[in-house]
Amino acid sequence: MDDIRHILVVDDDRRLRDLLHRYLSDNGFMVTSAEGAAEARRLQRGITFDLIVLDVMMPGESGLELARSLRQAHNNVPILMLTAMGEPSDRIGGLEAGADDYLPKPFEPRELLLRIRTILKRTLSEAPQVESTREIRLGSLVFDRNRASLMDLDGDIVRLTTAETSLLGVLSETPGKVLSREWLGERCGIGGDRAVDVQVARLRRKIEPEPKNPRYLQTIRGQGYVLRPD
């Protein structure tokens, strides 16, 4: 299964926000929604997104202002702007603020989907090709992704079940990225949300100094789990 892409939808229109959430989810994306710039900023502190669908006209901080501030902070997350203003000058303003593309409202959902996929394909092709990290450090433990083995600093093997090994392996493919319970269950072959929660709890007992206060395998409320190695 290909790596699932995580999209942040930022729009103060709840109806449109919910429609986009359902439509993009049905088309294979993980989706998080925010009703404004403040909530979007809060979410970005804990989640790495692959793309932001951003409305221009919002109460408080506008989409243009949010995009501009992200670029000034050297945050290069791709941005697709939505706006009810379709004049060329408005489009230019959005692009100058740092947007990668610009879609006037109303729009066809299929066009939105096409533009999102085009942006993601382009940014993926432009990304520097680096060899993925073989070893993931978790405090006094090291997970070797090639051998699918967990060891302490003395080289002794920490025994993991097949499900725990699969879960740690999948999480270590994209450290810092939130993965949903549903996707983890499907990718690891360990059943539904409850089964994933059980395996996460078991894995934490083996990799966390304080399993009830996890440092490495964290829960993102309403989203899923994320691995944050050293």
Portion of the chain with pLDDT greater than 70, in percent: 92
Task: Answer with the residue of higher pLDDT: 125 or 155.
Answer: 155
| Fold adopted by 135-227 | Arc Repressor Mutant, subunit A (1.10.10)
Task: Please give the CATH architecture assigned to the domain spanning 6-126.
Answer: 3-Layer(aba) Sandwich (3.40)
Instruction: Supply the pTM of this predicted model.
Output: 0.63
Q: How far is CA 121 from CA 47, 52, 70, 91, 126, in A?
A: 21, 15, 21, 22, 9
Domain ranges of the chain: 6-126, 135-227
Residue type for position 212? K
What is the model's pLDDT at position 192?
82
Contact 173, 152 (CB under 8 A): no
pLDDT band at 98 (very low <50, low <70, confident <90, very high): confident
Would you give the end-to-end CA distance of the chain in angstroms?
27
> Tokens for 204?
């934490």
pLDDT band at 90 (very low <50, low <70, confident <90, very high): low
Q: Has residue 75 got a pLDDT over 90?
A: no
Rounded to whole angstroms, how far apart are CA atoms 35 and 33? 7
What is the model's pLDDT at position 87?
63
Closest to 124 in 3D by CA, of 18, 2, 227: 2
Portion of the chain with pLDDT greater than 90, in percent: 50
Task: Answer with the residue of higher pLDDT: 125 or 219.
Answer: 219
Query: Mean per-residue pLDDT for 15-23?
Result: 94
pLDDT band at 191 (very low <50, low <70, confident <90, very high): confident
